[in-house]
Structure 1
Amino acid sequence: MDASTARMRLESTLTEIDRSIVVLRGDPSARDGRPGSDAGSVMTDTDRDRALLEAAVQHRRAVVEAIARLDGGRYGLCVDCGAAVPEGRLQARPEAERCVPCQSRRERRR
């Protein structure tokens, strides 16, 4: 993927994530007025929103780091071994920071 396409996709993703974070950071107490809501459903909604917010913040961090790699001339290179990240992987996840073998090793260690 060329640098201008990567930048456009990453910046677009960053904008979408930022919008999601704003929504997820909304006031959970506003749910109390919903018909049919009770303390249990509000807690479940709050827990779900908290998990979604955490995932969005982590995804945002990955996108910001990808933009920094792009600015530094290291975009598309594995952060662990320096090999090229496959084009298909970058097409699917423009923020991908590792080649497939390094990503697999990382996931096995978890």
Structure 2
Amino acid sequence: MDVATARMRLETMLRELDRSITLLKGTADVTGERAASDVGAELVQAEHTQAMLDAATRQRNAVLAALKRLDEGIYGRCVDCGKLVPEGRLEARPEADRCVQCQSKLERRR
């Protein structure tokens, strides 16, 4: 993927993530009196909203890191081994910072 296309896709992702994060924060901030029977459902919803907010924030950080790699001229290189990240992986995940092999190793360690 060429640099201009990568930047455009990453910046679009960043705008969409910022909108999602703003909406999720608004949902998490809604408070009010609830019936006792609603408390459990409300807690489950709050946990779900927080999990979505955490995931969106992690992805936003990955997008920002990818934009930084673009600026530094190292976008598309694995941060672990330095090999090129396959084009197909970047097409699917423009924010990807590792080749498939290094990403697999990282996930196995977790």
Normalising by structure 2, we get a TM-score of 0.92
Residues 69 and 75 in structure 1, CA contact (< 8 A), matched pair in contact too: yes
Provide the C-alpha distance between the structure 2 equivalents of 1:28 and 1:41, rounded to a whole number of angstroms: 14
Deviation at 1:41, TM superposition (A): 1.1
Instruction: Give RMSD over aligned pairs.
Output: 1.3
Residue type matched to 1:9 in 2? Answer: R
Residue type matched to 2:11 in 1? Answer: E
Residues 28 and 46 in structure 1, CA contact (< 8 A), matched pair in contact too: no
2:31 to 10, 29, 33: 29
Provide the C-alpha distance between the structure 2 equivalents of 1:95 and 1:16, rounded to a whole number of angstroms: 14
Task: Return 5+ residue gaps in structure 1 as ranges.
Answer: none
Residue type matched to 1:93 in 2? Answer: R
**How high is the sequence identity, in percent, across the aligned residues?**
58
Residues 76 and 84 in structure 1, CA contact (< 8 A), matched pair in contact too: yes
List per-residue Cα deviations over 1:51-73 (Å, max 9, x = no partner).
Answer: 00000000000000000000000
Deviation at 1:28, TM superposition (A): 3.0
Equivalent residue, structure 2, for 1:4: 4
Provide the C-alpha distance between the structure 2 equivalents of 1:66 and 1:96, rounded to a whole number of angstroms: 7
Residue type matched to 1:107 in 2? Answer: E
For the residue of structure 2 that corresponds to 1:28, the secondary structure is coil
Equivalent residue, structure 1, for 2:47: 47
Aligned length: 106
Structure 1 segments of 4+ aligned residues over 2 angstroms from their partners: none
